[in-house]
Amino acid sequence: MPAAESPATEAACALLDALVALGVRHVVVSPGSRSQALALAAADLERQGRVSLHVRLDERSAGFTALGIGRETRVPAVVVCTSGTAVANLLPAALEAHHSGVPLLLLTADRPPELRGVGANQTTAQPGLFAGAARFAVDAETPDGSAGEAARMRSLAARAFVAAAGETVQGVAHVNLPYREPLAGPLPPWFSEGSADSEQALREAQALLPDPPEPVTLASGPRTVVVAGADGGEDAELIARQGGWPLLAEIVSGSRFGRRAVLGYRQALADPQLGGRIERVVVVGHPTLGREVTALLARSDIDIVALRATDEPLDLSGATRSAAAVAVAAGEQDREWLGAWMRWSREHAADLETPAPDIHGLASTDPKARLGAVRAEMDAVRTPLDREQLVAGVWRATWPHDRLVFGSSRLVRVADDVLAGKKVPVHANRGLAGIDGTIATGLGIALASQHEGSPGVTRVLLGDLAFLHDVGSLLLPESEERPRVQVIVGNDGGGTIFDGLEVAQTASAEAMSRVQYTPQAADLSALAIAYGWGHVRVTTRSELDQALTAAVAGPQIIEAPLGR
């Protein structure tokens, strides 16, 4: 007997076909029964070569994988999941996407209205579950095969895609999709043959796009600094270059490059001749790493202009001007102002380089001179790793075709303190600065950046607790291509980031250990074996350099033990 036709399948195919026509190239699926129409349609899109499909057992990992893809491509990846707690597990990724301005499109399957609120299995109040985190949220109609249903699904796809992808602000679109049985049926021929007419979705999306915003023009006069936070990117460096202004770029910004990047910028903000003379701040991205910057942005006596990239404007001062774009007016640049900051930067650059080998000593015929040179070289090779050497080694090994992801661990603050400027693509989940989903985000970035054979390695630098919090994301399907990714774990036994917070001055040693440090002694090598990842343990700078520069064929954990 032939399978019965399924309105759920017809509607799911129309929705996904339109999203692909609009630009979606990645679909992340977590298996489930109520979502089977969407999942099977996604599998056929993979067969057609129209999307890359990624299957994740855990919806939380699926959400952060899609977040990483959206971070890298600035095009929303689609997440498909079933009903109930599956949907709730997407909330952490949705919150991060909202606060970071990252495009993310969630398709959550649901029970039809008649099964809600009556105790039906795997049913809860899914509409509105993401509340203020979603720029667009719709509880769609339940497919019944009525006339015009496919057209309505394409219209819904256009509205959801434009809301997530945005023009100046990106974020989360949530489409809740109630389905009645039969939950799946034969795929419609127009879909499996790839012959759909997608002009409707394209026309509607084009009509929904807003006009480009007018930029705020900045005069060159006031003593100005450009502050670059997470996701500041090349825009921050460009504004600083056009204005001739100092660039105070967090390491997670991707903006720490060029001749105007200031090293030791946080200490400079406390200097009365530098920080004390600032008259205007231009903010690009989301600054979160230093209290000195937070204090600067809370001042009401200076002009602060913040480029808006999320639905939540940055306004710590209560008088910050929000701008969708800025332009720098022509005018004479204040060379004395920039020069003072550049002199500070040169004087506060950290020296993390190992001295060059003593070539003359190594070639000397004097046994004492040669022995001393050999001893010095061996000491350099055997230098034990500390946090500064760890972040410097990772930074040194990473180039523009690579990707670097910082976790919200102690290491990112060390990196912000000591690393010099370099133009490399940097990512970090600093919207809410949580530790959850860091591995999954890095995997999503790797999948997107290495799509269609692009070169490079994605490196994820994080602490042991952030690693263990997301260890389930190491589980990758055997049928999928394994990305080139190195997860570098600074393993100090847990929680030393709290050493630098006020709690360390007030809590007892016993209480600190019990509820703040969260000490752990997990065997990372055993975890790597269990999940099929490579593992290498490094304790010296030489071993780190070898691990980072060796050929990377697949996912790998590099464990660096660190002292407390």
- Secondary structure (DSSP) of 399-464: -TTSEEEE-SSHHHHHHHHH-------EEE--SS--STTHHHHHHHHHHHHTGGG----EEEEEEH
Could you tell me which residues come within 8 angstroms of residue 256 by beta carbon, excluding any fewer than 6 positions away? 228, 247, 249, 250, 419, 420, 421, 422
Per-residue pLDDT, 43: 98
Residue 3: its pLDDT value, please? 61
Q: Is 356 exposed, middle or buried (0-12, 13-18, 19+ CB in 10 A)?
A: exposed
Residue 562 phi, psi dihedral angles, 5° rounding: -130, 150
Give the C-alpha distances (Å, rounded to integers) separating 68 from 82, 96, 204: 21, 11, 27
Q: Tell me the fold of 7-208.
A: Rossmann fold (3.40.50)
Domain(s) labelled CATH 3.40.50.1220 in the chain stretch across 216-347
Q: How far is it, in rounded angstroms, from Cα 473 to Cα 67?
A: 13
**How far is it, in rounded angstroms, from Cα 489 to Cα 442?**
13
Does the structural domain 387-561 have CATH classification 3.90.1010.10? no
Instruction: Give the pLDDT of residue 253.
Output: 98
What was the pLDDT predicted at 56?
98
3-state secondary structure of 515: helix
Residue 265 exposure: Cα atoms within 13 Å on the Cβ side:
31
Residue 203 burial (CB count, 10 A): 12
Number of alpha carbons in the 13 Å side-chain half-sphere of residue 384: 4
- Domain(s) labelled CATH 3.40.50.970 in the chain stretch across 7-208, 387-561
Q: How far is CA 74 from CA 107, 184, 559, in A?
A: 18, 32, 31
Gap between the Cα atoms of 87 and 450, Å rounded: 29
What's the confidence (pLDDT) of residue 273? 96
d(CA 59, CA 90): 6
DSSP assignment letter at 285: S
Amino acid at 308: R
Burial of 22 (0-12, 13-18, 19+ CB in 10 A): buried
At 444, give phi and psi (nearest 5°).
-65, -40
Which runs of E-coded beta strand occur in 122-223?
Answer: 134-139, 172-178, 216-218
State both tokens at 208.
Answer: 């929904």
Handedness of CA 85, 91, 92, 93 (dihedral sign): positive
Please give the chain's pLDDT, 564 residues, in tens: 356 689 999 999 999 999 999 999 999 999 999 999 999 999 999 999 999 999 999 999 999 999 999 999 999 999 999 999 999 999 999 999 999 999 999 999 999 999 998 999 998 989 999 999 999 999 999 999 999 999 999 999 999 999 999 888 999 999 999 999 999 999 999 999 877 667 888 999 999 988 888 899 999 889 999 999 999 999 999 999 999 999 999 999 999 999 999 999 999 999 999 999 999 999 999 999 999 999 999 999 999 999 999 999 999 999 999 999 999 999 899 999 999 999 999 999 987 665 555 566 567 777 776 677 666 656 666 788 999 999 999 999 999 999 999 999 999 999 999 999 999 999 999 999 999 999 999 999 999 999 988 999 999 999 999 999 999 999 999 999 999 999 999 999 876 666 666 767 788 878 877 777 778 889 999 999 999 999 999 999 999 999 999 999 999 999 999 987
The torsion angle over the Cα atoms of residues 496, 497, 503 and 506, rounded to 10 degrees, is 40
**Type of residue found at 189:** P
pLDDT digits (tens, 9 = 90+) for 333-346: 999 999 999 999 99
pLDDT at site 135: 97
Number of helical H runs and strand E runs in the chain: 22, 19
Q: Residue 52, SS3? A: strand
Per-residue model confidence (pLDDT) at position 329: 94
The Cα–Cα gap between 282 and 236 comes to: 9
**Integer Cα distance of 22 and 339 in angstroms:** 48
Number of CB atoms found within 10 A of residue 527's CB:
17
Quick: pLDDT tens for 438-455. Answer: 999 999 999 999 998 899
Q: How far apart are CA 268 and CA 484, in angstroms?
A: 39
pLDDT of 1 reads 38
Rounded to 10°, the helix 7-22/199-208 angle is 60
Q: Which option is the CATH number for 216-347: 3.40.50.300, 3.40.50.1220, 3.90.105.10, 3.90.650.10?
A: 3.40.50.1220
How far is residue 48's CA from residue 190's CA, in Å, rounded to a whole number? Answer: 12
Buried b (16+ CB within 10 A) or exposed e, 148-180: ebbebbbbbbbbbbbbbbbeeebbbbbbbbbbb
Q: Taking the chain, what is the end-to-end CA distance rounded to the nearest angstrom?
A: 67
